[in-house]
Amino acid sequence: MKKMIALIVMGAAVILSGLPQNATAQTSADLAGKFLDAAKSASDSQLGDIASELTGKIQSFTALLGSNSSVSSIKSQVDSTLKALTGGQDSAALTSAFKLASAAKLTPEQITLAKQVGNVASAYVVRKNFASLEGSQDDVATIVKSLRNGQIAPAVPAMKNVATNAHLTDDQKQLISKVADKYAPGWKKAGAALDAIKKLPGF
């Protein structure tokens, strides 16, 4: 009888210990589904394609993390990214996405996937907010394609071009600056220095 009670208690403990991880996994899947549905309902069909790629990267990343309790905060950050994207809070979404790769105790493979999540999230945000920006369609296309392919170098000059577009709204200025600051830290100072040089006699 005592042995049976002990087995029941142990079984209950196992079930209970699994609940938080299962709940977290379910939450991520639900949020990913909502985000994907919202993206696919947009008039820009490319947003659905990028969202599908992003949710795939997120799925691979969270699967690689496993169900260890030490990664629960990272998974919560993933959920925050998805919630923000679905709610149109693109700046907050990028903040969460960019932090993933710097989380503690990640393996090199996990860091690579986390960076990919940040890259594709950036591509999604840029496409969503700047695709119709007058005079910047080619630059936006370059940024989106480059980030989706993990090729940062070609995207940087295009980011700078978009950031200096005269038709930007204040919100767009802040958003593109956030993206550019991530991939080209110090670009503002470099641009200001170049402008100063151009003003010198004989330049």
Joined together, the tokens standing for residue 8 give 């029941």
The answer to whether position 73 is within a domain reads yes
The answer to whether position 190 is within a domain reads no
Q: Where is pLDDT greater, at 200 or 66? A: 66
The answer to whether position 47 is within a domain reads yes
The answer to whether position 10 is within a domain reads no
Residue-level pLDDT at 26: 57
Listed in sequence order, the residues at least 6 apart from 160 whose beta carbon sits closer than 8 Å to its beta carbon are: 180, 184, 187, 191
Return the SS3 of 143. helix
Q: Where is pLDDT greater, at 74 or 2? A: 74
Query: Do residues 182 and 98 make contact, with C-beta atoms less than 8 angstroms apart?
Result: yes
Joined together, the tokens standing for residue 30 give 């639900």
Domain, as residue range, for 131: 26-181
The answer to whether position 114 is within a domain reads yes
Residue-level pLDDT at 27: 66
Kindly tell me if the per-residue pLDDT of 200 is higher than 60: no
Start-to-end Cα distance in the chain: 93
- Return the number of other C-beta atoms located less than 10 Å from residue 140's C-beta: 23
Q: Percent of the chain, pLDDT > 70?
A: 78
- What would the pLDDT profile of 6-65 be if each residue is shown by its tens digit? 444 344 433 334 434 454 455 678 999 999 999 999 999 999 999 999 999 999 999 998
The answer to whether position 46 is within a domain reads yes
- What would the pLDDT profile of 70-106 be if each residue is shown by its tens digit? 688 899 999 999 999 999 999 999 999 999 999 888 9
Mean pLDDT of the chain: 83
The answer to whether position 7 is within a domain reads no
| Number of independent structural domains in the chain | 1
Q: CA 41, CA 47: separation in Å to the nearest integer? A: 9
Give the distance, in angstroms, between the CA of residue 17 and the centroid of all CA atoms in the same chain. 30
The answer to whether position 174 is within a domain reads yes
